[in-house]
Amino acid sequence: MQIPQARGPLTEALFGALRSGSDDFYPVLAVGPVEGEDAALALWVLYELHYRGFDDVSDEMEWDPQLLRLRVALERDLEQRLRERFTSPQGLSVVEDFFDWVAEHDGASVADHVQRAADRDQVLELLRVRSIYHLKESDPVAWVVPRLGVRAKAALTELQYDEYGNGDPNRLHHHLYARGLEACGLEAAYGAHLDEVPLEVLEQNNAMSLFGLHRRLRGAALGHLAAFEATSSMPSRRMVQGLERLGLPAEIVEYYAEHVEADAVHEQLAVRAICGALLDEEPELADDVWFGAFTCLDLEDRFARTMLDHWGADRLGAGEDRREEVA
């Protein structure tokens, strides 16, 4: 992947410096506070240095102290904004109450729109913007593995083994997604569609990297995972129905069909085995588990509203009729 297009003064300065091969980032640090897409894209690129990096940036930059300083400033701002939106649920047990809580907090849904009304161009756009995550699916959670006790670690690696194809590269979820993109005639290279993604996609991905890369946020990482898995199976079924309605290729249908089955299992594993084991060992992390879970649902709601508004589509409310209809 190449460094993407800049979206403001910080990314102009940062990307120019990264491409130049210099390790003097003081002019970048001097840009001063920025927000919105400029801040989110800068943070996304700094995180990407820890994943697969960029063809036009030296691998040495992953641990450059000035870049880490910039990353920390952007992360603090992101974490503060995410925490300001969160209200801790009082008196709820993660293992007992998680699925009811998710049902009450589930928001706007792009899968509903795909199922019922989206046209082909809208669905292809959705597949492109989702690719920023799905082409590195499960990677942000992999950082958490060495930070857990034995029971949570065993349960998380069971889930991850499934995400990574159970030993078969052809079953790896991010590879299934890449094959689906190709079958639709879309560019399937890692990061290929970054320049067109909205702020909300950058923030969704940044939140996962933030939680994954900080040991102190391991509770939030696993709460996010649990909410992600608990809101995947039924929307994936709606995606299958919408993709079939539009006659899209079998390969992309297969990616979502795989998640109807897999995530019905993963949601149980994530809530009961992974978060349950974590909280048995470290009960003081319960609030962070809820924070991560809330952040997952909140960011997905914001993403869905942005896309539905962009398409001029109705925002169907979350709730019982939608759930009953799919069930």
CB 252 → Fe ion: shortest distance, Å? 14
Nearer to Fe ion, 38 or 163 (CB): 163
Q: Is 263 in the site for Fe ion (CB under 5 A)?
A: yes
Q: At residue 100, what is the residue type? A: D
Q: Which of 230, 245, 256 is nearest to 114 (CA)?
A: 245
Nearer to Fe ion, 25 or 256 (CB): 256
Q: Which of 48, 14, 50 is nearest to 32 (CA)?
A: 14
Q: Which of 98, 44, 135 is nearest to 222 (CA)?
A: 98
Distance of alpha carbon 52 from the chain centroid: 16
Distance of alpha carbon 2 from the chain centroid: 21
Nearer to Fe ion, 71 or 130 (CB): 130
CB 268 → Fe ion: shortest distance, Å? 11
DSSP three-state, residue 285:
helix
Binding mask 56-85 for Fe ion (x = CB under 5 A): ------------------------------
- Contact at 8 Å (CB) between 316 and 109? yes
Cα gap 220→283, rounded to integer Å: 13
Binding mask 164-203 for Fe ion (x = CB under 5 A): ---------x------------------------------
CB 262 → Fe ion: shortest distance, Å? 5
Q: Is 113 in the site for Fe ion (CB under 5 A)?
A: no
Cβ-in-10-Å burial (0-12, 13-18, 19+) of 26 comes to: exposed
Nearer to Fe ion, 15 or 177 (CB): 177
Nearer to Fe ion, 54 or 228 (CB): 228
Number of residues that bind Fe ion (CB under 5 A): 4
Phi and psi, residue 290, nearest 5°:
-65, -40
User: Which stretch in 13-21, 75-83, 156-164, 215-223 sits in contact with Fe ion by CB under 5 A?
Assistant: 156-164
Nearer to Fe ion, 173 or 238 (CB): 173
User: Which stretch in 58-66, 190-198, 215-223, 261-269 sits in contact with Fe ion by CB under 5 A?
Assistant: 261-269
User: Which residue stretches of the chain are H helix?
Assistant: 9-20, 26-29, 36-48, 65-84, 94-105, 110-116, 120-134, 139-142, 150-163, 173-183, 199-213, 218-230, 233-245, 250-268, 276-281, 286-310, 320-326
CB 250 → Fe ion: shortest distance, Å? 18
Q: How many residues belong to the chain?
A: 327
User: Which stretch in 77-85, 162-170, 288-296, 298-306 sits in contact with Fe ion by CB under 5 A?
Assistant: 162-170
Among 7, 266, 302, 322, binds Fe ion (CB under 5 A): 266
Nearer to Fe ion, 71 or 134 (CB): 134
| Residues of the shown chain interacting with Fe ion in the complex, contacts defined by CB under 5 A | 163, 173, 263, 266
